[in-house]
């Protein structure tokens, strides 16, 4: 407690300063904290506070572990390890905003703690306090967004666009060249070209989803500008004389993720009555679209050499240009730890993949956990690097990085206009309904329905992505209970077959003349979408460790034979005499996604199997195959999901699904379902297989009956050596762990699994 004289003195001091004497900090509101200091890690550094648009420091007087704990929690870390006094991380600059901060330790932010008030301090910068936080981010701290990093003026610089000037630019989709316009406080302004550089163009292009910029013919655009300024019928001249028409000056380094991070001067310096753009014109930018967004030009002649595949990829994202970051090192894909992950490094990844700058850098495996090695941590890009491998970084397997720390990114992507060419109608929510598309019919753009012949989860995934609604939950072929839009009931698209990587349904293969055997109306295609999905992954190491051979008597295989778990030659044996040679193994299937894995149908549709006395919620949950080295199938098996449940969960997670007593089936996020080697059908019948070298393959959810965020990791393969008496499995890995190419279409995956290649 303060003594009365000190309280009175403090009260008089505040009266002299013209401030009210606060007992607590004035509300921080959108005020932010940061940790800075030479050589410091993301979780430690000098504590600084943003107040009135200016960063300042905190004095170490009265500062202790409970104050550090509150600061670390506000910064997104789980807790504080310690604090540092006497400017251990170097003296700061500017104001010392806070002094005598006193917290209980339970507050969620510093604005709930007591202090002297803003700027009231008797300290010098030699007393600037630092904190050391636990490197683990807490679950509530999700990402670093562009909008969170902007100051007061930056939040008024809302977005940018290109206004095409030339006729050819107006016909392009997306628009890649034109005059720069910035939305400032709700109104669009043009940017003066004086002092405009290629660095400024790079930032604008990045915001619009383009990885790079190209030079512009300024002289040609200047001629057009001068011509328009002389035309008395145009308002351009009168508008250009108003300062409210212009952004006066922009100065970017070229590494910023948003133009508001640049030095932006909206109007000339105060007190000078001068025009905002004397003798200048609007800045013109030309952007280069990434390969995925360029118009496809069919040119006869020699094929161009295939470009080298990038050694970075995005996985499990709901939209184009987002996902968990994975890098290829030592011929194996692995993840990036979120320690030190930020928008600058995320932007390097985005540009490397042909997108624009990053709009969000995500922490804590927000887009799902990866498998295999964690290759990198403490990635410190400066923003000018062409690839992530050029950025300084440390080895990711040390310093407490786990897959729950996997970094992810959301990139800016070009506006292709596809989202306005599809819609859902008749659903109970905006995320479901009959699919209606806009296509050209006899030279006229028309809305209509999609035939549900061949309509499946892959096509539904493309639809939901095109709508910006995430993943497909269900592909629906019978939509009689949904009323479509009046006048849009006619089928205008049929025979749709998507590979899964398309940006829009209009890019998928489809019939020329429309032919729909089921007719319009109740058989129009429909979807339901969701923003999160499960992701099943097989534990490859467990398969390798538990594989063995068993010669099992036919007398013990009646139920397995009834459920088609044996090779066809078993039909011709003299039952119950003889045996079958089985390659047995245990399988452990993890759900690493962001939603529970549930059967496609409810309990009312499950099938009762009398022999084994259980229900099958998914008739074919996994495929087990033995292949030759060139991919020909020599033995096969399958597993029905007779017991899809949470066998185990990590500490802190509760098991939600159990098969006992006809219970609900599924696999909770973060949990796993184990099929032991000693249960029926957990094998491949290799009785008819001769000695040799083979590939053992397991595919989870092979028919895509349940939507997942990533189907590329559903396949596991091992090298298998069989000498006629013993079997060895080695080099077991998920299907995409070692593949160099970053994208494999769902159609190619399906063909590979069905041995059609």
pLDDT tens across 495-514, in order? 999 988 899 999 999 998 88
- Alpha carbon distances (Å) from 516 to 446, 451, 524, 525: 18, 6, 10, 11
The residue behind tokens 């077959």 is 497
* Band of pLDDT at residue 180, cut at 50, 70 and 90: very high
DSSP labels, 246-266: EE-EEE--S--SSGGGSEEES
Domain boundaries, the chain: 32-133, 150-288, 312-412, 422-530, 536-754
Select from 699, 677, 722, 679 the least CA-distant residue to 585: 677
Tell whether the model's pLDDT for residue 5 goes beyond 60: no
Provide the β-strand partners of residue 180. Answer: 162
CA–CA dist 362, 317 (Å, integer): 12
The residue behind tokens 């310690």 is 82
Q: What is the pTM of this model?
A: 0.76
Tokens of 686: 């290799």
Question: Are the beta carbons of 446 and 492 closer than 8 angstroms?
Answer: yes
Contacts of 198 (CB under 8 A, 6+ apart): 213, 215, 254
* pLDDT value, residue 478: 86
* Band of pLDDT at residue 662, cut at 50, 70 and 90: confident
DSSP state of 277: S
Assign domain 32-133 to its CATH architecture: Roll (3.10)
Residues 545-561 have pLDDT tens digits of 999 999 999 999 998 88
Mean pLDDT for the chain? 84
80-100 average pLDDT score: 90
370-385 average pLDDT score: 89
Judge whether 32-133 and 422-530 match in fold.
Answer: yes
Neighbours of 37 (CB within 10 A): 19
- For residues 726 and 30, which has the higher predicted lDDT (pLDDT)? 726
Terminal Cα distance for the chain, rounded: 80
Share of the chain above pLDDT 70, in %: 86
Contacts of 698 (CB under 8 A, 6+ apart): 538, 543, 587, 622, 623, 624, 625, 715, 716, 717
Domain at 312-412: CATH code: 3.10.250.10
Tell whether the model's pLDDT for residue 303 goes beyond 70: no
* Band of pLDDT at residue 597, cut at 50, 70 and 90: very high
Contacts of 190 (CB under 8 A, 6+ apart): 163, 179, 180, 181, 182, 245, 246, 247, 282, 283
H-run or E-run covering 536: strand 536-538
- For residues 638 and 710, which has the higher predicted lDDT (pLDDT)? 710
Select from 176, 160, 743 the least CA-distant residue to 416: 176
CA atoms within 13 A on the CB side of 542: 16
86: left (phi > 0), else alpha (psi -120 to 50), else beta?
left
* pLDDT value, residue 306: 55
Tell whether the model's pLDDT for residue 743 goes beyond 50: no
CA–CA dist 326, 670 (Å, integer): 20
Tokens of 284: 């013109």
> 704 — phi, psi (to 5°)?
55, 40
Tell whether the model's pLDDT for residue 138 goes beyond 70: no
CATH H-level superfamily of 150-288: SRCR-like domain (3.10.250.10)
- For residues 375 and 143, which has the higher predicted lDDT (pLDDT)? 375
* Band of pLDDT at residue 112, cut at 50, 70 and 90: confident
- Alpha carbon distances (Å) from 1 to 5, 6, 102, 655: 12, 10, 12, 50
Assign domain 422-530 to its CATH architecture: Roll (3.10)
Question: Are the beta carbons of 47 and 131 closer than 8 angstroms?
Answer: yes
H-run or E-run covering 692: strand 692-700
- Alpha carbon distances (Å) from 115 to 22, 23, 61, 100, 284: 8, 7, 10, 5, 50
Residues 140-152 as b/e (b if ≥16 CB within 10 A, e otherwise) read ebebbbbeebbbe
Question: Are the beta carbons of 203 and 262 closer than 8 angstroms?
Answer: yes
Tell whether the model's pLDDT for residue 104 goes beyond 80: yes
* pLDDT value, residue 178: 94
DSSP state of 606: P
Q: Which of 192-206, 376-390, 563-577, 639-653 bottoms out in mean pLDDT, i.e. has the lowest?
A: 639-653
Question: Are the beta carbons of 100 and 115 closer than 8 angstroms?
Answer: yes
Report CA Rg, the chain. 31
H-run or E-run covering 315: strand 312-315
CA–CA dist 218, 378 (Å, integer): 41
CA–CA dist 468, 502 (Å, integer): 13
Tokens of 609: 């199997």
Neighbours of 486 (CB within 10 A): 7
Select from 660, 675, 531, 683 the least CA-distant residue to 590: 675
Helices (H), 354-406: none
Q: Which of 100-109, 369-378, 631-640, 716-725 bottoms out in mean pLDDT, i.e. has the lowest?
A: 631-640
Tell whether the model's pLDDT for residue 10 goes beyond 50: no
Question: Are the beta carbons of 733 and 714 closer than 8 angstroms?
Answer: no
Quick check: bond before 741 cis, omega within 30? no
CA–CA dist 42, 38 (Å, integer): 11
Question: Are the beta carbons of 586 and 677 closer than 8 angstroms?
Answer: yes
CA 124 to chain centre: 44
Residues 384-424 have pLDDT tens digits of 999 999 999 888 776 678 888 899 999 999 999 899 999 99
CA–CA dist 572, 48 (Å, integer): 79
Helices (H), 569-652: none
436-462 average pLDDT score: 91
* Band of pLDDT at residue 4, cut at 50, 70 and 90: very low
- Alpha carbon distances (Å) from 486 to 480, 483, 514: 14, 8, 20
């Amino acid at each position: 407690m303060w003594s009365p004289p000190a309280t009175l003195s403090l009260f008089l001091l505040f009266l002299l300063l013209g401030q009210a004497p606060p007992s607590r900090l004035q509300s921080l509101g959108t005020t932010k904290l940061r940790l800075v200091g030479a050589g410091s890690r993301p979780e430690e550094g000098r504590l600084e506070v943003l107040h009135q648009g200016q960063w300042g420091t905190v004095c170490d007087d009265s500062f202790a572990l409970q104050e550090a704990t509150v600061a670390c929690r506000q910064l997104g870390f789980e807790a504080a390890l310690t604090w540092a006094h006497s400017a251990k991380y170097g003296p700061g600059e500017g104001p010392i905003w806070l002094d005598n901060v006193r917290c209980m330790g339970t507050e969620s932010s510093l604005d709930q703690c007591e202090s002297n008030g803003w700027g009231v301090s008797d300290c010098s910068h030699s007393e600037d306090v630092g904190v050391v936080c636990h490197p683990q981010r807490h679950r509530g701290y999700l990402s670093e967004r562009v909008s969170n990093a902007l100051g007061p003026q930056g939040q008024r610089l809302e977005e940018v666009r290109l206004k095409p000037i030339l006729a050819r630019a107006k016909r392009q989709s997306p628009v890649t060249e034109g005059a720069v316009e910035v939305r400032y406080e709700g109104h669009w302004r043009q940017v003066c070209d004086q002092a405009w550089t290629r660095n400024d163009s790079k930032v604008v292009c990045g915001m619009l989803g383009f990885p790079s910029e190209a030079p512009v013919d300024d002289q040609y655009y200047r001629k057009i500008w001068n011509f328009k300024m002389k035309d008395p019928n145009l308002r351009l001249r009168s508008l250009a004389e108003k300062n409210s028409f212009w952004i006066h000056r922009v100065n970017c380094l070229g590494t910023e993720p948003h133009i508001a991070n640049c030095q932006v001067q909206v109007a000339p310096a105060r007190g000078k009555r001068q025009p905002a753009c004397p003798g200048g014109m609007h800045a013109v930018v030309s952007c280069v679209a990434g390969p995925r967004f360029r118009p496809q030009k069919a040119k006869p002649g020699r094929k161009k050499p295939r470009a080298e595949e990038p050694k970075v990829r995005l996985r499990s994202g709901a939209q184009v240009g987002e996902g968990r970051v994975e890098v290829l090192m030592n011929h194996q894909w692995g993840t990036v730890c979120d320690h030190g992950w930020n928008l600058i490094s995320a932007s390097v990844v985005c540009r490397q993949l042909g997108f624009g700058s990053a709009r969000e850098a995500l922490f804590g495996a927000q887009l799902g956990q990866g498998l295999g090695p964690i290759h990198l941590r403490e990635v410190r890009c400066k923003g000018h690097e062409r690839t992530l491998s050029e950025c300084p970084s440390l080895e990711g397997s040390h310093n407490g990085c786990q897959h729950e720390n996997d970094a992810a990114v959301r990139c800016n992507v070009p506006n292709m206009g596809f989202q306005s060419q599809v819609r859902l109608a008749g659903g109970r929510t905006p995320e479901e309904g009959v699919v209606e598309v806009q296509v050209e019919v006899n030279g006229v753009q028309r809305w209509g329905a999609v035939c549900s012949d061949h309509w499946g989860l892959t096509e539904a995934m493309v639809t939901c992505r095109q709508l910006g609604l995430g993943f497909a939950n269900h592909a629906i072929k019978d939509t009689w209970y949904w009323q479509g839009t009046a006048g849009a009931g006619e089928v205008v698209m049929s025979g749709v077959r998507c590979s899964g990587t398309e940006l829009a349904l209009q890019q998928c293969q489809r019939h020329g003349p429309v032919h729909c055997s089921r007719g319009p109306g109740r058989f129009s295609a429909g979807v339901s979408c969701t923003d999160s999905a499960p992701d099943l992954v097989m534990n490859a190491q467990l398969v390798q460790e538990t594989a063995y051979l068993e010669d099992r008597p036919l007398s013990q295989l009646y139920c397995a034979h009834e459920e088609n778990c044996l090779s066809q030659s078993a039909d011709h044996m003299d039952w119950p005499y003889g045996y079958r040679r089985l390659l047995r193994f245990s399988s452990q299937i993890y759900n690493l996604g962001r939603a529970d894995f549930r059967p496609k149908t409810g309990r009312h549709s499950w099938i009762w199997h009398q022999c084994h006395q259980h229900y099958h919620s998914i008739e074919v949950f996994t495929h087990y195959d033995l292949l030759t080295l060139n991919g020909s199938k020599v033995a096969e098996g399958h597993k029905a999901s007779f017991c899809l449940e949470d066998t185990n969960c990590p500490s802190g997670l509760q098991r939600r699904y159990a098969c006992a007593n006809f219970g609900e089936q599924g696999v909770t996020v973060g949990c796993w379902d184990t099929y032991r080697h000693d249960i029926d059908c957990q094998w491949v019948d290799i009785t008819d297989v001769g000695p040799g070298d083979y590939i053992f393959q397991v595919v989870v959810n092979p028919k895509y009956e349940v939507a997942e965020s990533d189907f590329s990791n559903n396949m596991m393969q091992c090298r298998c050596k069989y000498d006629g008496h013993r079997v060895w499995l080695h080099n077991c890995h998920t299907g995409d762990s070692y593949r160099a190419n970053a994208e494999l279409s769902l159609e190619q995956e399906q063909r590979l699994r069905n041995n059609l290649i």
